[in-house]
Amino acid sequence: MKRMATISDVADAAGVSRQTVSNVLNTPTIVRPDTRQRVEEVIARLAYRPHASARRLRTRKSSTIGIRLDPMTDGISGSVLDRFLHALTEQAAERGLRILIFTAAGPEDEIVQFKRLIDGADVDAFVLTSTFHGDPRTEWLIENGHSFVTFGRPWGIDDMSDENHLWVDVDGSAGLRAATEHALAAGARRVGYIGWPVGSGTGDDRRRGWQSALVASGVTDVALLESLQVAANDTVVEGGAAMLRLREQVPGLDAVVCASDSLALGAMMNNPHALPVTGYDNTPVAAALGLSSVEQCLGDVAAGVLELLMAESAAGAAAGSGAGAGSGGAAGESSGGAAGERSGDAAGEVAGDGVMGPQADDPRHRLVIPRLVVREMVVPGWSPE
Amino acid sequence: MKRMATISDVADAAGVSRQTVSNVLNTPTIVRPDTRQRVEEVIARLAYRPHASARRLRTRKSSTIGIRLDPMTDGISGSVLDRFLHALTEQAAERGLRILIFTAAGPEDEIVQFKRLIDGADVDAFVLTSTFHGDPRTEWLIENGHSFVTFGRPWGIDDMSDENHLWVDVDGSAGLRAATEHALAAGARRVGYIGWPVGSGTGDDRRRGWQSALVASGVTDVALLESLQVAANDTVVEGGAAMLRLREQVPGLDAVVCASDSLALGAMMNNPHALPVTGYDNTPVAAALGLSSVEQCLGDVAAGVLELLMAESAAGAAAGSGAGAGSGGAAGESSGGAAGERSGDAAGEVAGDGVMGPQADDPRHRLVIPRLVVREMVVPGWSPE
DNA sequence: CGGGGCAATTTGATCGATCAAATTTGCTGT
DNA sequence: ACAGCAAATTTGATCGATCAAATTGCCCCG
């Protein structure tokens, strides 16, 4: 392992000064083309790479984003955050950013970790997941003026439009509307809903999606709407129990849509007539059982998160220069969200095209439209009674 | 966000020199106790934190470990690596290390990423997972003299004892032996095995565990042993098919142990007589279905990985100084593996205590003994025919 | 022919820490 | 009282990059 080449080595070898090499790397436009080419050749020949720590020391930027690795959310859907992390890492690399992960025992401890990482100049922004209303973490970050983006809306009435709070989220309502409409289009009339207890922003949002589709199809009887939905905590066992209740209280049940794959798996276990069941999150479990499921397009979410972050830091840097701040991230040529896609899924048909919602032009948040992955339920040995 | 305090600020405020402050932080023993205390008070008062990048520039160490985020291994057991990552991050923090994640399109691309991260001084060691025989990644790392530890043995005959290749692994053989012995102790006589096709080091190792337990219990008939095992790729569907075959070819089947929770889930779907089924990895799915499963003790694995890494770097640094290299990591007071434990699991009984295997004293690799988590199968609505 | 205007390049200082060597302090023994 | 010596502390240099300001080179016009 021989000594790394430094910027001075390159400068000497190319017969220019350090700063010119630096310019070739950071501000290529101000270097004369022939000089630039000469320097670039030397860089390639010596396999020179700037020393990240030295650069960070000088620029006071780490080009690193911190994200907490959530404690295992026991459910099956825990893997959603892992997939998001994967998409985020992949797209961050394309933009020259690094992802540093950390753990914390709880929200308060997470703030301690924030301090540690910021003070040490380890990271210059955070991505938060699983935020909740009145979350102390976002409050602290805003108060202390640190960059962050959350995956998930702040459900508080006032937070939602807080201009200091950047967020990206998936439009769960649209996802469940699509799932419900698909069931209706397939001929179902009574489409039941197994969701989470009232009170969680995410859960209520999803329920609204199901409900709006039913209402739009002509189901306006409030009592009927009420009986078509049951609430359960997000476990397989509760999902199973919920399915029993639903079948009992709705005689002509045609199909069921669920707020999660965990609930859907539970429902499938008490599904002797093989009613179509739709889950949410498109986890491996749904794929294994042949359940239709709402796919969150985490690649798009990750892209949105990074764009918001880069736009913010660019805006902060340009506060004073007259250059247009609208150009945002320069390295975005590979967008389109194809990166994080799970390809080759056999049961291809898709409804909803995964584009950004109407808020796409709002510089402070982004709502990603999920898409429905339709599958045939083919469960070996799962025969009706 | 006011300006960060630097080491000089602390020095001035405490009436000492920069270097003394540095010593308080890095070599407290050589500072006179009263001076040290005075400096420490100022550090606390100013909330001083060393600037990580500056330190890294000078010391040429990043105190950061790189690990590739594997592409989603579609199966249910994919979460094992996520849990490992979580445990690793947690324990790394306790030792003052950071974890940087990255992605790669394949082994060759991963090597490109290695280069990128090392040249930029972003990381000074790697943790590899899912290694295989003749893995180009480990070859490259060894050739170029970079530190790394693999989670998983190099199954090649010669690699295994390669002194440049540090590894930590879980003793899958012991895990399946424990699972099988537990079934035998519960009165089962014909314990079948659903495993992966011959050829994978890990899979063959697990099969040996099951077989050795059966042989020890007196099953020596080769033909019988042969008929008691079936092979399947690691999917739920194949697991289900394998269960059907096994039931067909073994009349008095009493119990089944599997090489993974995916296979076990498949088996459960074709298990009308509710035979006891045991999985491997103790995933949320196993917990949800009430399957017994072999828990890999990833906290211990993570601890082992970090200890090997730190021991190596300490040894590298001490190559020349007479100080005892045996002390290893100084910050290990919180060991015992309690960190990564999933607490509050209802069905507590445990066999095998998770201690290190006989290789515990070998400085180059470590074999962690897994433990069997025993559960009652209580699957709602899953009634025998 | 001199110099204004502008682009391209170079120079010196700096980021915040640690290393290596020099210096001061404190203690011991005779 | 002081040499001798170790412990404690300080000083100057350095890691590899970028920033800000100074310099050089070039073209064109009066």
Q: With cut-offs at 50, 70 and 90, classify the pLDDT of residue A327.
A: very low
Q: Give the angle A78-A84-A86 at the CA atoms, nearest 5°.
A: 110
Q: With cut-offs at 50, 70 and 90, classify the pLDDT of residue B354.
A: very low
Q: Stretch A195-215: mean pLDDT, rounded? A: 95
Per domain, the residue ranges of chain B are: 1-27+50-55, 64-170+298-319+347-369, 173-295
Sequential DSSP letters for A174-241 = HHHHHHHHHHHHTT-S-EEEEEPPTT-HHHHHHHHHHHHHHHHTT---HHHHHHTEEE--SSHHHHHH
DSSP state of A4: P
Under CATH, what is the fold of the domain B64-170+298-319+347-369? Rossmann fold (3.40.50)
**SS3 at position B111:** helix
* The pLDDT of residue A96: 83
pLDDT in tens, B178-211: 999 999 999 999 999 999 999 988 999 999 999 9
Q: Looking at the partner chain, which of A52, A78, A237 has a beta carbon nearest the beta carbon of B79?
A: A78
Q: Residue B133 has which token pair?
A: 């025989």
pLDDT in tens, B45-59: 999 999 989 999 999
Answer whether A51 sits within 8 Å of B72, measured CB to CB. no
Q: Looking at the partner chain, which of A64, A90, A240 has a beta carbon nearest the beta carbon of B380?
A: A240
**At B4, which amino acid appears?**
M
Q: Right CATH number for A64-171+297-371 from 3.40.50.1220, 3.40.50.300, 3.10.20.740, 3.40.50.2300? A: 3.40.50.2300
Decide if pLDDT at B346 tops 50. Answer: no
* The pLDDT of residue B91: 93
**SS3 at position B197:** coil
Sequential DSSP letters for B202-248 = HHHHHHHHHHHHHHHTT---HHHHHHTEEE--SSHHHHHHHHHHHHH
Answer whether any strand D atom is within 7 A of the Cβ of A121: no
Answer whether any strand D atom is within 7 A of the Cβ of A6: yes
Q: Which nucleotide is nearest to A5 (CA to C1')?
A: D16
Q: Which positions on chain C have an atom < 7 Å from some protein CB?
A: 7-12, 14-21
Q: With cut-offs at 50, 70 and 90, classify the pLDDT of residue A250.
A: very high
Residue with CA nearest C1' of nucleotide C16: B54
Task: Give burial (CB, 10 Å; 0-12/13-18/19+) of A218.
Answer: exposed
The whole-angstrom distance between B270's CA and the closest CA on chain A is 6
Q: Give the angle B27-B32-B38 at the CA atoms, nearest 5°.
A: 95
Please tell me the distance from the alpha carbon of residue B364 to that of residue A180, in angstroms, as a whole number.
57
Please tell me the distance from the alpha carbon of residue A60 to that of residue B344, in angstroms, as a whole number.
44
For testing contact with chain A, the best of B67, B80, B101 (most A CBs within 10 A): B101
Decide if pLDDT at B234 tops 60. Answer: yes
- List, in sequence order, the alpha helices (H) in chain A: 7-14, 18-26, 33-46, 52-59, 79-94, 107-119, 136-143, 172-185, 201-216, 222-227, 236-249, 261-269, 284-289, 298-318
Q: What are phi and psi of A33, to 5 degrees?
A: -50, -45
CA count, 13 A, side-chain hemisphere, B367: 13
* The pLDDT of residue B325: 32
Q: Do domains B64-170+298-319+347-369 and B173-295 have the same CATH topology?
A: yes
Average pLDDT of chain B is 83
Q: Stretch B331-350: mean pLDDT, rounded? A: 36
Average pLDDT of chain A is 83
Q: Right CATH number for B173-295 from 3.10.180.10, 3.30.70.20, 2.60.40.730, 3.40.50.2300? A: 3.40.50.2300
**SS3 at position B149:** strand
Nucleic chain D: which protein residues 9-68 of B have CB below 7 A from it? 15-20, 23, 30-32, 35-36, 54, 57-58, 60
Q: In terms of Cα–Cα distance, which of A179, A188, A132 is closest to A159? A: A132
Q: Which positions on chain D have an atom < 7 Å from some protein CB?
A: 7-12, 14-21
For testing contact with chain B, the best of A4, A43, A53 (most B CBs within 10 A): A53
Q: Residue B206 has which token pair?
A: 């697990």
Please tell me the distance from the alpha carbon of residue A156 to that of residue A14, in angstroms, as a whole number.
58
pLDDT in tens, A260-270: 998 998 998 88
* The pLDDT of residue B116: 86
A306 compared with A4, residue with greater pLDDT: A306
Q: Residue A204 has which token pair?
A: 């209520």
Q: Looking at the partner chain, which of B103, B244, B289 has a beta carbon nearest the beta carbon of A89?
A: B103
Q: Which residues contact residue B294 at a Cβ distance below 8 angstroms, ignoring those fewer than 6 apart?
A: B172, B175, B176, B178, B179, B278, B279, B280, B281, B282, B370, B371, B372, B373
Distances (CA, A) of B381 to A41, A253, B18, B276: 69, 19, 70, 17
Q: Which nucleotide is nearest to B59 (CA to C1')?
A: C18
Instruction: Give the rounded percent of residues in chain A with a pLDDT score beyond 70.
Output: 82
> Do A102 and A306 contact (CB within 8 A), yes or no?
no
**At A318, which amino acid appears?**
A
pLDDT in tens, B251-282: 999 999 999 998 998 998 889 888 999 999 99
Answer whether B49 sits within 8 Å of A265, measured CB to CB. no
Q: Residue A153 has which token pair?
A: 């809306």
Please tell me the distance from the alpha carbon of residue B126 to that of residue B138, in angstroms, as a whole number.
10
Decide if pLDDT at B362 tops 90. Answer: no
A104 compared with A236, residue with greater pLDDT: A104
Q: Residue B226 has which token pair?
A: 């042969």
Looking at A73-77, B245-249, B361-365, which range is the least confident one? Answer: A73-77
Q: How far is CA A66 from its chain centroid?
A: 15
Q: In terms of Cα–Cα distance, which of B339, B282, B330, B331 is closest to B86? A: B339
A94 compared with A324, residue with greater pLDDT: A94
Q: In terms of Cα–Cα distance, which of A326, A50, A356 is closest to B121? A: A50
Q: Looking at the partner chain, which of A52, A75, A266 has a beta carbon nearest the beta carbon of B120?
A: A52
**SS3 at position B265:** helix
**At B48, which amino acid appears?**
Y
